[in-house]
Amino acid sequence: MRDAFGGAFFIKLMLIFFAIYISFIAIALSYAKAFRVKNTIINYIEENEKYNNDIATMIDSYVANMNYYVSSVGPNGSNVNYKSCNSRGYCVEEMYSDELRGEYYKVTTFIEVSFPFFGINVLVPITGETRVVSS
């Protein structure tokens, strides 16, 4: 009887570590995807030296092909305080700098980590900036 209890405890412990390992890998893959999407958006903006409706359409098609979507960001999402967020889950803000004498863009993508057993959703922002695109 004692051996059966020890074996069951070991199996439970192994399943817990396995769940932690899978969660860590899933978060790492989500982070890599969000980072790649942010860098690609920055590249599109820097190549065209502006952000307008044409660039937004190109970015939306790229993001749709990457299957990047964060449900709690955008016009209907209430979890972020960013001014200009897209419905796919990324934000592009136009910034001005007197020191740099021009405008640049701040791009933010998000990772949504949810813990369904506890009812907790966490948004982790990943932010990057373009170089000065116009003066």
As a whole number, the mean pLDDT across the chain is: 82
Query: Which among 120, 112, 114 is positioned nearest to 33, based on CA atoms?
Result: 112
What is the distance between the alpha carbons of residues 25 and 115, in angstroms, rounded to a whole number? 15
The predicted pLDDT at position 1 comes to: 53
Task: Divide the 135 residues of the chain into consecutive groups of 10 and give the mean pLDDT of each group.
Answer: 71 92 91 93 90 87 86 59 74 80 87 81 88 74
CA distance 96 to 111: 27
Predicted local confidence at residue 74, as pLDDT: 55
Q: Which residues pair with 97 in a beta bridge?
A: 102
Could you read off the pLDDT of 18-52 as tens digits, one per residue? Answer: 988 998 998 899 999 999 999 999 999 988 888 88
Q: In the chain, where are the structural domains located?
A: 2-129
Q: CA torsion angle for 70, 74, 75, 79 (degrees, to 10)?
A: 80
